Structure 1
Amino acid sequence: MRDKYGKIIYVGKALSLKKRVQSYFTPAAFRKADPKLRGLIKSIADIDIVELSSENEAILHETKLIKDYKPKYNISFKDDKRHLLLTIDMTQPYPVFKLARLITNPKSIIFGPSTSSRELRAAQDYVERKFGLRKCTVGIPTKKHHKHCIDDIVRFCSAPCIGAISKEEYKNRAEKAVLLLSGKDPEGLKDLKENMLAAASGLDYEKAALYRDVRSMIFKIAKNRSIVRRSPAESRESAIKGINEIAKLAGIDKPPKIIETYDVSCISQKHAVASMVTAIDGIPHPALYRHYKIQTSGKTDDATMMREAVKRRTVRLLNENQTLPDLILVDGGAIQLAAAEDELKRLNVTTPVIGLAERYEEIYINKSGKITNIRLPGNSQALQVLQRIRDEAHRFALSHHRKIRDKLIKESILDEIPGVGPVTKARLLKKFGSVTRMSKATATELAETPGVGLKLAETIERILAQPRIAGNA
């Protein structure tokens, strides 16, 4: 939410944005709300919206915006704290779970972020005890480290430092812990529930609460689709199987080595963007990613934007005699598929196109002039490959989307005033400190700024005095 001067005054998240915003603009809110909330409501001139794919992503984005812009009406996250994460690097000889607030190791498997540090700590403690995982943070534990440690006595540590367990067996235990925290161990979840009920029946409510917190944390992680990273070899093997299935599905003679995926995103009619992600043998290659600022004038829809992105990319490949993709994937259903196919037809390009609609994860294919939709099982390798590439295209479009948003957020109302360039803007802000103070100054006072004449000062005074309407802040 921004005030009439374009300054961010509040950042919030909601599963139902309509209900959240409506709650601010009710008669009861004006009458009964505390002074802070009434002040916020009276200050709102514009509302910007960012749509994200999960609650975890929303939490992280909300935290980042609050830390970057320190909105007046936000309290949470203004300090240096962030939501807690649980990480483990399975590439290490003896993997260990670590709590963190920042992701510093890209190889780590991430669980969280969690709004409840108590639940996350309980989950960490439970899997460490259950699977005998070490607590020490040294890279490779040795007998020297064991001299000062009694975790094998008091914490059920399997003590790899003294050779009480082999490296292979320890890693196997760590993998089981990861499966449990990912919600992919039905037997482990069943044991948790049984232990919780048994503890409650025995009136050991403290232990029952521990099991409850661990189950709660695991279900939250699973709900937010936390991803367990696989090794590069496993990813490549899965991708190859997937593209073989895709070839049969799309009626292609051979597996598509190069797949180009398109997604479109729009802040408003003025700020539409498209992304193109290239995958080779089913694996995305960031160096080949491209984004496009949609140039079509007037009102644009998904089909129009998709058509432009596909045209611009394909024309460039043709003009530069570059290799065309073996398959094009569009994020969307029949409308987006038809738009891409129509544009390729105009260019006399026969590259096959398929669509993947996010709502039901249905695949759209044009067979003999008729578009049909296919719903594959969730464990289909073909669907998983298409989902990974589509999600990467969506992420890439959204990241570019955010860059534009951040730039717009930082813009000042001064940028809209004719005659006020970067130098004059800097001088005005240096003299008055803020746009708010500037708006209270007279033309004569404004004219005292170096480089600002009386005529320009009068223009600034007039524009700053105008009420800012939603959408223009």
Structure 2
Amino acid sequence: MQNPSLELQIQTLPDSPGVYQYYDKDEKLLYVGKAKNLKKRVLSYFNKVHEIGRTRVMVRKIVTIKHIVVTSESDALLLENNLIKKLQPRYNVMLRDDKSYPWICIKKEPFSRIFSTRRMVKDGSEYFGPYTSFRTVHTILDLIKELYPLRTCNYDLTENNIKSGKFKVCLEYHIGNCKGPCEGHEPLETYQEQVNAIREILKGNFKESLRNFKKQMGDFAAEMEFEQAQRIKEKIEVLENYQSRSMVANPKITNVDVFSIVSDESAAYINFLQISHGSVIRSFTLELKKKLEETDEELLELGIIEMRERFNLTSREVIVPFEVDLGENIKITVPQLGDKKQILDLSIRNAKFYRIDQLKQMQIVDPDRHTNRIMAQMKKDLRLPEEPRHIECFDNSNIQGTNPVAACVVFKDGKPSKKDYRHFNIKTVEGPNDFASMEEVVYRRYKRLLDENEPLPQLIIIDGGKGQLSSALKSIDTLELRGKIAIIGIAKRLEELFYPGDNIPLYLDKKSETLKVIQQLRNEAHRFGITFHRDKRSKNALQTSMETIPGIGEKTMQTLIKHFKSVKRLKEASEKDISAVIGLSKAKKITDFYNDNKPKE
């Protein structure tokens, strides 16, 4: 650190929790962060080499450091979240809070109305939500409408207004969707009992409504009112069906929030599930665009604080995949088994599906962005010095030592570049020696690229384990390319990745995009090599037959092989079958030749 002013600012920082702010020479805010220990956290930006270019650029721009001391790290997290949303620093993750989410309102009034709204009015009414889509809201309101006949009008149903006969029942009353409280056909106490039951349903508690409906059904049946009993039974079935679809865990798990995170090089996806009485009553996935080297722990903490504030969450227990610090008043649960682990897995699955959907959309709208992300991910996963925009993969093909060949396939920007594929006939190796064959083809490939001044790849992949990799390295060393091209070997059995000079293999996640690209390369090299090997064997067999059958030319034999698929089938064919392809005269020459050369018994 060359700037004396910065050194002084850092030295005077306290060893306390708080929020720090970085400014450039024009007093523009660059970044806001939180820390358990302000001095240690800020110092860490200046005493290490950052892998991400954006971080290095930001650190070079820092001229002024400001800070706010708070009493705990959880307070720092809340303050950081508010400052990011208010000030929108250039290098912070993007937190979008411009969307107005729908709520379900139980209006504070006689004969309460229940409806959806985007506006919260502080008049004593109750609001449930917010919900992440109107589709969810409409589903819940449709359920309520099926179960309980409530009014939809906006009349002021005071006791005096009803008694004065000011209002008249509408169509909703005549079709059975309302019991007519406007004309006094339904007492306030009975109506509010229904509102109380709906309140419990909105909280995720179905038990009370089911018990009341079952009691009503029993009472109607006992009084021989079977039509009424059937109507109540249908309501029970509707409620139980809705409950079964929303129930994901033990009903004893209530008032719990679940958060999980899935991330890649460019973004993190944080899923939130709100659980009440074993049911999911709300789900949302927040996308955070990465700007610097944020860890999953930092992003998850930030996402949790953001969503608790956005959705007015008050639960005292949070289920997460790893430990986070949200303050002393919130219980953090990291489940390993049981019902809570199942809920966490469900949240992770939702985050993964959301990520996949976003990536598909990005691939359609901006294909280059998708490619750039994969290249950045491969660089990180494979510990490469640069993105592997140009990758070449080698594979040997020989069966019992015959016709040994090799194949080199080329991927550019993660996609096959078939015009650059190359076949190799093994020239200097006798017999089935895969190691020596690999050494030969790697040498020939890169000797030619160097001689022709063609660009070299950033990554070479050898289909094979440590032995094949060592053989390829001999040629790389001979050509003095060690350190200029990254090279790894992939062993087929366990998908192990081997690096030069390292006996311990690297294992990638079986579902990672990096491993999928490597597997695609390996499979393509194997397919390309096998196809060439088969063609070569067929050609050798054809040439052997052509040399030994008098009067039969190359074109005739090619026609026959194309028809009969192999020399063996040609030998077994009758003269009649052959004559149908090339005529009787030539057919007789071929059958006579094969009959004369049959092995004697």
TM-score range normalised by the length of the shorter chain: 0.3 to 0.5
More RCO (CA 8 Å, sep 6+): 1
Give the alignment's TM-score, normalised by structure 1. 0.40
Find the structure with the greater CA-based Rg. 2
Larger fraction in strand: 2
